[in-house]
Amino acid sequence: MASNVVIQGIVYQDCPEVNIPIQGGGTARFLDTSDATLASGGQMLDGYTAYSNGTKYTGSIDTKTSSDLTASGDTVTVPVGYYAAEASKAVTHGSATTPATTITATPTITISSGGLITASVSASQSVTPTISAGYVSSGTAGTVSASGSNTKQMTVKAATTYTPGTSAQTIASGTYLTGAQTISGDANLVPSSIVAGISIFGVNGSASVPIISQDSVTKVLSIS
Amino acid sequence: MSKNISLMGAVFSDVPAVELPKDGGGTALFYDTTDATVTGNGQILNGYTAYSNGVLYTGSVTIQHYYTGSSTPSSSLGVNGDIYLQTSGA
């Protein structure tokens, strides 16, 4: 700041300071500090002093480092203070995915009675909060966690009984069976019930069938 | 700080400041700041100024807040450079 001062009737314009000889030699400089805006010691680092608007202030902002950060469980506490450099604290039990981090983990897969497949994953990772240089005013840190799942509904088939016929019957691959699938059997599927020379499902017939013929002249019916 | 100064043949001891009348009325106080210990802008918070050893310093220490929450923070929370720690959720 500069002031227009009057000394012995003479006006001196824009004087920012007054220089007066010191007893024994040298010059003492006296400054107009009225333009300085510092208003408390809380606006200056601990260990320093300065003048502002006619008052001498002593700084009171503590300087902190990483060693001042504390962790309890998943909570990191960052004390108020000045951090001249980045400070960090590892969180032992932190679990998270951060926007810039991908965590790979083996999922747990379950299949419900209705054929719903669910893949779930819960990942964990240590988190190291960091603080850039500056004065931290207040606050309490915490942890980050992430989990997720995905599902797929399978094609299901309830309990069914199949009667063998002349064409094959197929259950599509990938079908989740929610009930017993029963292929019917028949006690008559034996060689004696199948005409000799015929095979049904691998069972070769052995039953004899009468051969009937009629003479075209005599009209005699022969059964052998 | 104070100085023993010599003015017009007279010695004045332990003078911390000089008060002079201002043109137009009032007085202006001039202080000896040689005992102040600030040596850089990085020792004073941004937005403040102070004198130390004859020099006017302009503070440059930035204030950063940090916040916690369990969900995505509001865009109106804090300012650039602040820190947000999400404590749960995706």
Are the CB atoms for A174 and A154 separated by under 8 Å? Answer: yes
Decide if B32 and A11 are in contact by the 8 Å CB cutoff. Answer: no
**Mutation for A interface: B12, B45, B72, most A CBs within 10 A:** B45
Q: What is the pLDDT of chain B when averaged over all its residues?
A: 85
> Which residue ranges make up each domain of chain A?
3-58, 65-153, 155-185, 189-224
User: Which residues does A138 contact at the CB level (< 8 Å), separation at least 6?
Assistant: A80, B65
Query: In this complex, is the C-beta atom of A38 within 8 Å of any C-beta atom belonging to chain B?
Result: yes
Q: What's the pTM?
A: 0.54
Of A171, A204, A139, A10, the C-alpha closest to B64 is A139
Decide if A38 and B49 are in contact by the 8 Å CB cutoff. Answer: yes
Decide if B4 and A49 are in contact by the 8 Å CB cutoff. Answer: no
Q: Kindly report the nearest CA distance between residue A139 and chain B, in angstroms.
A: 6
Tens of pLDDT, residues B2-48:
888 888 788 888 888 888 888 889 988 999 999 999 999 999 999 99
Q: Kindly report the nearest CA distance between residue A123 and chain B, in angstroms.
A: 12
pLDDT-derived band of residue B90, with 50, 70 and 90 as boundaries? very low
Number of A:B CB contacts under 8 A? 204
pLDDT-derived band of residue A132, with 50, 70 and 90 as boundaries? low
Of B56, B44, B51, the C-alpha closest to A43 is B44
The ipTM value here is 0.80
> Which residue ranges make up each domain of chain B?
1-32
CB atoms within 10 A of CB A49: 19
